[in-house]
Amino acid sequence: MQLPPLFLSRMQTLLGEELAAFLAAYERPLRRGLRVNTLKLPTAAFRSLSALPLEPAPFSPDSFYLDIPHKAGSDPLHHAGAYYMQEPSACSAVSVLAPQPGERVLDLCAAPGGKSGQIAAALQNTGLLWSNEYVPARAHILQQNLERLGVRRGVVSCSDTGRLCAGLAGWFDAVLVDAPCSGEGMFRKEPQALDGWSLDNIHLCAARQQEILQNAAAAVRPGGRLVYSTCTFAPEENEGVIAAFLQQNPDFSLQRIAVPWGCSGFPAQALRAFVPAIAGTADLTACRRILPQHGGEGHFIALLRRDGNAAAPLPATYEPPKNDPHSAAAADLYAGCFRQPPEGVFVTHGELVRLLPPELPALTGLGVLSAGIATAQVCKNRLEPCHAAFMAAAPADCHRVLVLPPDSQELAAFLHGAELPCAGENGWTAVTTAGLTTGFGKCAGGRLKNRYPKGLRLL
């Protein structure tokens, strides 16, 4: 790989004697990885199911190196949401955020969804995950990934960060800002990042990051946590952004990240070659960096805490519409498919009936694309269940189940969209493999009519 001379010069200034180790890491093969989705199954259970050669990564207990080529899109376990392909060090930011069950968590720059999925797994379908993405096409991909992973208590929005955080001021226990950046840590994984690299882009990214982080601060409750992360090495986008933020927000303090991986952030005196005006008294070594020689492609993480414990003014509570035209029928359909009672309320939005999680804030004006689970599709005078409802359910939660082995021709045929023999009771039936729900169909007359979404089918 031909690294830009100016980039190398900057890294020499930043790393000094560590530059040799940094460059030596670039000579080794790229290490890809995956994260087990513990919303679906325990990590130990996945390892017993999968034949993939996995090596534990230090950045998360559910993250692994995978050093062979792997086409996840053709793996039934991937279709079932058992794992997410994720570069191991990309799991570090959520590990530092440490979401706890029952918390409200905002992932402000969430697409394509790896970190949101990791947050959802930590929440274990309690509390609320709010995932935001500004770019509409990327927000659609985010929705698809969270649906596959079985996220039940979530909201996806496509909103400007200033508008969203002002509308949800003080509402979140924890906020993650995995900010858009110059992507220096992605040079090996995504070589096209080299083409767009420049000092001008670094400065443009730093200005945008400061704006996003400043907006994010409004959404954090007193006593709450704010994690800022990037996948770049540039100090202007890392410690420089944090120093500027702390100068503008005296009610936030920088917390030391005590983990056994990576290295400390750089002190202010080492950064003045990059950020001459850097100021403040915060000890920036409390931040954490991951360099290629640490087993990851490149990440920066800072943990901030908002001072105080007093309750902040909270947004208005969501009020479901009265006399929803399909809520009663949706409840009946749900009860006919699943054993567990629904959590939340059924609300019709367009041609979909969604099961909204309880304790939502008012959603108007926040760019919300989806909330909760797409439960039923309105089809003329009837309702039919949605794929998302089955993906969010364990096999034990379903009334009717067709069990197929992971390596069976029948499961491959189902993922291609084929009808299958089905000797069970007539009705909407979950298709499962290895204890995971991977889709559904309608069993009638000994046949299962396939309802696996066309856009997800294997070609």
Enumerate the active-site residues.
Answer: 231
Tokens (6 digits) for 86: 């994720």
Cβ 427 vs Cβ 442: under 8 Å:
yes
CB 242 within 8 A of CB 282: yes
**HEC secondary structure over 345-411:** EEEEECCEEEEECCCCECCCCCCEEEECEEEEEEECCEEEECHHHHHCCCHHHECCEEECCCCCHHH
Coil, helix or strand at residue 107: strand
Q: Taking a C-beta distance cutoff of 8 angstroms, is the pair 357, 128 a contact?
A: yes
Q: Cβ-count burial of 456 within 10 angstroms (0-12 exposed, 13-18 middle, 19+ buried)?
A: middle
The Cα 17–Cα 57 span in angstroms is 26
74 close to 456: Cβ distance less than 8 angstroms: no
Alpha helices in 109-232 (DSSP H): 114-123, 136-148, 161-167, 199-217
Contact between 91 and 59 (Cβ < 8 Å): yes
For the chain, percent helix, then strand, then coil, each to nearest 5?
Answer: 35, 25, 40
Diameter over CA atoms, the chain: 75
Edge to edge, the sheet with strand 420-421 lists 401-403, 427-433, 436-444, 447-450, 420-421
